Amino acid sequence: MEQEKIVFCRGGGCTAKLGPAVLQRVLSKLPPPEDPNLLIGTESSDDAAVYRLSDDIAFVQTLDFFPPMVEDPHLFGQIAAANALSDVYAMGGKVRTALNIVCFPEDMKLDVLGEILRGGAEKVREAGGVLAGGHSIADKEVKYGLSVTGTIHPDHIRRNNTGHAGDLLVLTKPLGVGLICSAARVGQAPPGAMEAAVASMTTLNRWAAEAAETAGEAIHACTDVTGFGLLGHLAEMLRPAISARIFAKRVPALPGALQAADDCLYTAAAQRTRNHLAGRVRWQHVDFAMQELLLDPQTSGGLLFAVDPKAAPALQQACQKRGVFCAVIGELLPRMETDIIVEG
């Protein structure tokens, strides 16, 4: 018997995120935390919260869920889980426990939910964590994700905005997931494109994070590239003394992604990020398709490291040894007249 499919949502995956400008306005109204043990909270744009339990250990806490971007329930569960687990890896932590977050229609077959949860459980197990429970509610649309707890030494947290001028920017997955999903939604994805996107989305960032451990303190900053696209998350890595340069020709794209951009199959999320970054990015001989690729929202995207140039070759070798994709796509610079320069 053919398995029931879930609805391929217009705003599935990380394209469902609220825009960065909206989030900034809302979060700015929250009272600042007063607990000195909350090492990372809402005051920054880091990937997860970090709470110190002792001099030697801290909790890394994150939560992520969204509607489907694929029709296969099992694959959706894997993708949503891999995406949620990624924030712990971006901070340099180890995954310990996870809780399911489920929104599910009452009139849909429970076998579908079972397949979603099976996919999520597989990825938690692959991450070395324990699935400890969860919570579910009835909803008109399917949504799934995880609340994840990890651990880390308080002195070894990888923040996203502590890079140094001169650092190289290293990306561990190709871009284009949002563009390919948009193309697939209207039946215009070329053969093999969606399969390549799914393979990327279901790959844990655990192996990239383990490769980064070989570089130690030479990794000065890290984030994962998700709903705000490469440039949106890169902008969060900057601070007043630091700018960035991206070499567009070095940026890897999933097969079919640039064609989808040329065909104007881009996402509303990418346009929100473009508007948010208006005046902060200088494009130098970069065509429209590449611009869209750099703004494209990624679901379960790769890690973006700011690494000391002397340690970059060792990081690349460690990635290669573990079968992890790795590309040097840019650099951090002393403050320029604009935040981000993209060279074609």
Does residue 304 share a domain with residue 188?
yes
Does residue 74 share a domain with residue 132?
yes
Supply the DSSP string of 251-264, one letter for each residue.
--B-TTHHHHHHTT
Residue 149 has pLDDT above 80, yes or no: yes
Does residue 327 share a domain with residue 210?
yes
Res 257: pLDDT: 97
Mean pLDDT of 7-22: 59
Res 15: pLDDT: 57
pLDDT digits (tens, 9 = 90+) for 234-259: 999 999 999 999 999 999 999 999 99
Does residue 175 share a domain with residue 124?
no
Residue 120 has pLDDT above 90, yes or no: yes
Domain holding 226, by residue range, is 168-343
Does residue 325 share a domain with residue 261?
yes
Residue 115 has pLDDT above 80, yes or no: yes
Supply the DSSP string of 102-148, one letter for each residue.
EEE-TTS-HHHHHHHHHHHHHHHHHTT-EEEEEEEEE-SS-EEEEEE
Residues of the chain above pLDDT 70, percent: 94
> Which pTM value belongs to this model?
0.92
Does residue 22 share a domain with residue 67?
yes
251 found inside a domain? yes
pLDDT digits (tens, 9 = 90+) for 154-179: 999 999 999 999 999 999 999 999 99
Q: Which two tokens stand for residue 189?
A: 């994805």
β-sheet bridge partners, residue 302: none
Does residue 138 share a domain with residue 181?
no
Of 128, 156, 184, the position where a domain reaches its end is 156
Does residue 53 share a domain with residue 76?
yes
Does residue 301 share a domain with residue 178?
yes
Contact 165, 42 (CB under 8 A): no
> Domain of 108: which CATH number?
3.30.1330.10
143 found inside a domain? yes
C-alpha 55/C-alpha 57 separation (Å) is 6
Res 1: pLDDT: 42
Query: Which whole-number Å values give the CA distances from 168 to 181, 250, 311, 333, in the listed order?
Result: 30, 13, 9, 9
256 found inside a domain? yes
222 is catalytic: no
Of 111, 127, 156, the position where a domain reaches its end is 156
- Unique residue bearing structure tokens 């403050």: 335
Mean pLDDT of 11-33: 70
Does residue 77 share a domain with residue 54?
yes
Task: Lowest mean pLDDT of 29-38, 92-101, 328-337, name the range.
Answer: 29-38
Does residue 243 share a domain with residue 195?
yes
Among the listed residues 14, 181, 222, 326, the single catalytic one is 14
Work out the number of other CB atoms within 10 angstroms of the CB of residue 66.
25
Does residue 226 share a domain with residue 87?
no
pLDDT digits (tens, 9 = 90+) for 41-92: 887 778 899 999 999 999 999 999 999 989 999 999 999 999 999 999 999 9
Residue 211 has pLDDT above 90, yes or no: yes
C-alpha 270/C-alpha 276 separation (Å) is 10
